[in-house]
Amino acid sequence: MTQQVLGWAGSRRLLRVLRDIMKGGGTAQERLDQVVRLIAQDMVAEVCSVYVMRAGEVLELFGTEGLKPEAVHTTRLRNGEGLVGNIALHARPLRLADAQNHPDFAYRPETGEDPFQSLMGVPILRDGRVLGVLVIQNVTQRNYAEEELETLETVAMVLAELVASGELVSTEESHSDTAALLPVRLPAIVLNEGLGLGRVVLHERGIVIRQTVAEDPEAEHIRLRAAVAEMHSALDELMRQASFASTGGEHEEVLASYRMFAEDRGWLNRIREAVNGGLTAEAAVQKVQNDTRARMAEVRDPYIRERLSDLDDLANRLLHHLTGGNDSGPLGDQLPDDIVLLARTLGPAELLDYDRERLRAVVLEEGSPTAHVAVVARALDIPVLGRCRGALAEARAGDEALVDGDTGQLLLRPAESVRDTFAESMAARARRSALYAETRDLPPVTRDGTRINLFMNAGLLVDLPQLAESGADGIGLYRTEVPFMVRREFPDVAAQTRLYGRVLEQTGDKPVVFRTLDVGGDKALPYWRGNDEENPAMGWRALRIGLDRPVILRQQLRALIRAAAGRELRVMFPMVTAVAELERARDLVELERARAQSLGEDLPSTIRVGAMMEVPALLWQLPQLLAVTDFIAVGSNDLFQYVFASDRGNPRLARRYDPLSPPGLRLLLSLADEARKAGVDVSVCGEMAGQPLDALALIGCGLRNLSMAPRAVPAVRATVRSVDLPPLARLMRELAEARDHSVRERLRGYARDRGIAI
């Protein structure tokens, strides 16, 4: 502790001198030279250098104490090149006692850095952007202490002011504005479906920190305390006002857990420590925010990322209070009437800051399907795109933007004709919805009289009202992992029973297929800190975990059996790879059923057990599988990612291989044929079931049960009602023998010629 106090005192003294230099006279370059000299002295380093990010992602040596002066403005590194480039690329610090033997070390003879063995460097950050890198080096193999790193990071905060001021490099240089006016199309993943058309609002609260070095730390602590208290009450008010509060559902839990984070001791303590180190309250918040962002760049676990992104959001909020902002009402006054909100990440409460009436869509550079903001957006019915790389760099505030949450694309500054077509398809969609509402009660029967069952997929309680609205025949896939993912801890049997009970209650007489926990891979739970896997999509996940940790699976089955007392229970297992796995899972169902019976509990009237067809190996065990399963659900998202060895979440590969191709159709045809002969129901519940053209192919291949996102049901119903099956079935067999990479366009032409609604 004493050492820490001494450390803070040292850091405060250094910051004061730094502030005096920065406020002093001379050119920016002269001040920078003084700064590097001071830091080298104070931190007992032979070298201190500052690299500044210039246009074209190049890091240029701008000032140095200890390296050869002629290297200044000559030595340049690409972002990612060498240790300095590594620090900039990952926006994270490095501390190396033996830097020269690090694999990323890039030798630059002009700098004369041969004698220096150790290196410590930190990014110079501002608003999440890397402006440069600050480095110290020593001749000896020095093990830099944690506290020294803290000091260097604090100094970098102050330096960020100088670099961002534009005095060293003109700020315009960092953008290549010529490209800005061209239309851009960026791929993304869909986090919530729908279309949105509006003007770009960049979600950056635009807080300018005027002072980074504190005059009086005590006064800063007082400001910080006041701002934290203000933030807490503003958050309470925000959550209270949220128009959809108390409707029941996981989004409420998401918001509650976010609210708890605002009290997080560790986070607040780190900010207090930075104030102790000599920063103003707002600079301290930003420093901790920088650390959080650096961690986010490294962490792959979606659960931890989500927590970090909540902290990032809270930091923005706190900065807002510190700089005198007022969070009382939704943002909107100065904003356009049709907001397409662009952000790197967005917290669930940040979404509520915007006026719901004006918000047309949200686009995130990061974000996963279980991102908290996606859960809240689902409750509000706002389209959301995620993993839209480059969106912030390409967009300018006020740009026109089209968000296609059907195909997963963002279009910026679209040509007039594209915008008109998009607006037309939005209008057509609205007309169709009105029409669909009228056709909701018409049965999905083909022209030749074949009944196709249309189910919906769900994962949250907020999805369930759509069962009645869409007129679906039931829930063909209830993803039980979704509620698990938005919780902080594993729900026990009683909590699960309540949850499944509510699902069954709300679905009434219609059937529900519960899929047991499909976690692992990219679907992480906080209580499943699995090993870091090289290849998570093919890793320890889903039923594999369930069979290796049967207690968890049995608890879930127990809860399902209890919740379904007196009615039919349908349960299916994800990622079945071998028939023996399904048999073992069935045994567990039977064990739980027998247990409930021996305890005198009310039992489900029947229990039907099914397998998901997601792993190609299962296709070659069909006769054996059909003998032991009550039904099959094709998870086409996973099945085709494995069939084509093509990552389902990689936007670059999004439309590269097509299930509507000879291999895809042959697979579907033979699966449907065999299942029909065995009298076993097969459904398709991957995304393709909800695309009219794909759905057309599926029914043409002999599939009679489709399960899809609720908003897709009316369109697919219209497709079904407009088709004559026998000629379509003949066409599918013919197309399955074709040599085309994709038969999509041929099928589209067929549908158009025959007036099939697609």
The sign of the dihedral angle between the CA atoms of 438, 443, 449, 453 is positive
* Residue 106 CA neighbour count, 13 Å, CB half: 13
- Between CA 310 and CA 322 the distance in angstroms is 18
Options 225-233, 346-354, 620-628, 630-638: segment touching ligand PEP (CB under 6 A)? 630-638
Q: Shortest gap between Cβ of 369 and ligand PEP (angstroms)?
A: 9
Residue labelled with tokens 């097509």: 658
| Residue 577 touches ligand PEP, criterion: CB under 6 A | no
Residue 213 or 553 with smaller CB distance to Mg ion: 553
With CB under 5 A as the contact rule, the residue among 521, 635, 664, 714 that binds Mg ion is: 635
Would you count residue 459 as binding Mg ion (CB under 5 A)?
no
> Which residue, 390, 417, 425, is CA-closest to 195?
425
Q: Is 614 in the site for ligand PEP (CB under 6 A)?
A: yes
DSSP string over 684-740: E-SGGGGSHHHHHHHHHTT--EEEE-GGGHHHHHHHHHT--HHHHHHHHHHHHT---
Q: 662-678 and 636-643 are packed helices; what angle lies between their axes, rounded to 10 degrees? A: 130
Q: Of 296 and 542, which CB lies nearer to ligand PEP in the complex structure?
A: 542
- Interacting stretch for ligand PEP, rule CB under 6 A, among 424-432, 616-624, 632-640, 675-683? 632-640
Question: Is 481 among the residues that bind Mg ion (CB under 5 A)?
Answer: no
Site string for Mg ion, 566-605 (x = CB under 5 A): ----------------------------------------
DSSP state of 538: G
Report the greatest alpha carbon distance in the chain: 88
Cβ-based neighbours of 108, under 8 Å, separated by 6 or more: 71, 75, 77, 82
Is 604 or 690 the residue whose CB approaches ligand PEP more closely?
Answer: 690
CB of residue 707 to Mg ion, shortest distance in Å: 12
Residue 637 touching ligand PEP (CB under 6 A): yes
Q: What is the 3-state secondary structure (H, E, C) of 693-709?
A: HHHHHHHHCCCCEEEEC
Return the number of the residue (39 or 613) whose C-beta is nearest Mg ion.
613
> Hey, which residues between 174 and 213 contact Mg ion (CB under 5 A)?
none
52 and 59 in contact (C-beta within 8 Å)? yes
The size of the interface with Mg ion (CB under 5 A), counted in residues, is 3
Q: Using CB distances below 5 to 8 A depending on partner kind, what does residue 479 bind out of ligand PEP, Mg ion, none?
A: ligand PEP
Closer residue to ligand PEP, CB minimum distance, 306 or 313: 306
Chain position carrying tokens 């919740």 = 563
The minimum distance between CB 514 and Mg ion, in angstroms, equals 15
Catalytic residue among 48, 388, 685, 701: 685
Q: What is the nearest approach in angstroms of ligand PEP to the Cβ of residue 639?
A: 7
Q: Torsion over CA of 619, 622, 628 and 634, rounded to 10 degrees?
A: 40
**Is 685 one of the binding residues for ligand PEP (CB under 6 A)?**
yes
Backbone angles phi, psi at 448, to 5 degrees: -90, 10
Annotate 440-459 with b (16+ C-beta within 10 A) or e (fewer).
eeeebebeeeeebbbbbbbb
Residue 610, contacted partner among ligand PEP, Mg ion, none, CB below 5-8 A by kind: none
Helix (H) or strand (E) holding 1: none
* Residue 296 interacting partner from ligand PEP, Mg ion, none (CB closer than 5 to 8 Å by kind): none
Q: Which is nearer to ligand PEP, 522 or 583 (CB)?
A: 522
| Binding characters for Mg ion, 600-619, by CB under 5 A (x = yes) | --------------x-----
Residue 635 near ligand PEP by CB under 6 A? yes
Secondary structure (3-state) at 752: helix
Q: Smallest distance, Å, CB 372 to Mg ion?
A: 22
Cβ atoms 363, 403 nearer than 8 A: yes
Q: Is there a contact between 543 and 573 (Cβ–Cβ < 8 Å)?
A: yes
- Judged by CB under 6 A, the chain residues 273 through 302 that form the site for ligand PEP are none
Minimum distance from residue 638 beta carbon to ligand PEP (Å): 3
Nearer to ligand PEP, 401 or 464 (CB): 464
Of residues 43 and 576, the one with the C-beta less far from ligand PEP: 576
Per CB under 6 A, the segment of 161-169, 255-263, 617-625, 629-637 that binds ligand PEP is 629-637
Cβ distance to ligand PEP smaller for residue 353 or 614? 614
Query: Closest by alpha carbon to 389, among 367, 371, 407?
Result: 367
Nearest approach, Cβ of residue 166 and ligand PEP (Å) = 48
Q: Say how many residues touch ligand PEP, by CB under 6 A.
A: 10
Stretch that binds ligand PEP, among 11-19, 346-354, 377-385, 635-643 (CB under 6 A): 635-643
Nearest of 92, 93, 324, 344 to residue 209 by alpha carbon: 324
Question: 65 vs 518, which CB is nearer to ligand PEP?
Answer: 518
For Mg ion, which is the closer residue by CB, 277 or 635?
A: 635
Structure tokens that stand for 573 in this block:
């297992």
**Calpha distance 118→137 (Å, rounded):** 5
CA gap 586, 584 in Å, rounded? 5
CB of 711 to ligand PEP, least distance (A): 16
The two structure tokens encoding residue 381: 């019915």
- Asked whether 251 and 462 are in contact (CB, 8 A), the reply is yes
CB 369 to Mg ion: min, Å = 12
Using CB distances below 5 to 8 A depending on partner kind, what does residue 685 bind out of Mg ion, ligand PEP, none? ligand PEP
Three-state DSSP class for 343? strand
Residue 341 β-bridge partners: 201, 362
Q: How far is CA 272 from the centre of its chain?
A: 30
Report, in Å, the least distance between residue 463 CB and ligand PEP: 14
- Decide whether 133 or 698 has the Cβ nearer to ligand PEP: 698
Q: Which is nearer to Mg ion, 544 or 748 (CB)?
A: 544
Q: How near is the Cβ of 671 to Mg ion at its closest, in Å?
A: 16
Task: Give the count of alpha carbons within 13 A of 325, CB side only.
Answer: 23
Binding segment toward ligand PEP, per CB under 6 A, in 71-79, 88-96, 598-606, 636-644: 636-644
Which residue blocks in 381-464 are alpha helix, DSSP H?
A: 391-394, 416-439
Helix (H, G, I), strand (E, B) or coil at 155: helix
Q: Quick one: which of 286, 497, 636, 683 contacts ligand PEP (CB under 6 A)?
A: 636
Distance from C-alpha of 154 to C-alpha of 8, rounded to nearest angstrom: 11
Pairing of strands 384-386, 118-126: unpaired
Q: How far is the CB of 636 from Mg ion (least distance, A)?
A: 9
Eight-class DSSP state of 471: T
Interface pick for Mg ion out of 310, 350, 638, 687 (rule CB under 5 A): 638
Catalytic residue among 203, 251, 321, 372: 372
Contact letters for ligand PEP, residues 518-537 (x by CB under 6 A): x-------------------
Amino acid at site 285: V
Contacted entry of ligand PEP, Mg ion, none for residue 358, CB cut-off 5 to 8 Å set by kind:
none
Spell out, one character per residue from 475 to 494, where the chain touches ligand PEP: x when CB under 6 A holds, - when not.
--x-x---------------
685 is catalytic: yes
682/639 Cα distance (integer angstroms): 14
Q: Which of 250, 306, 312, 638 binds ligand PEP (CB under 6 A)?
A: 638
Q: Report the alpha-carbon distance of residue 416 to residue 407 in Å, rounded.
A: 20
Q: Least Å distance between CB 194 and ligand PEP?
A: 19
C-alpha–C-alpha distance, residues 729 and 704, integer Å: 12
CB 113 within 8 A of CB 137: yes
Q: Which residues are catalytic?
A: 372, 685
Instruction: Name the residues that contact Mg ion, by CB under 5 A.
Output: 614, 635, 638
Instruction: Name the residues that contact ligand PEP, by CB under 6 A.
Output: 477, 479, 518, 614, 635-638, 685-686
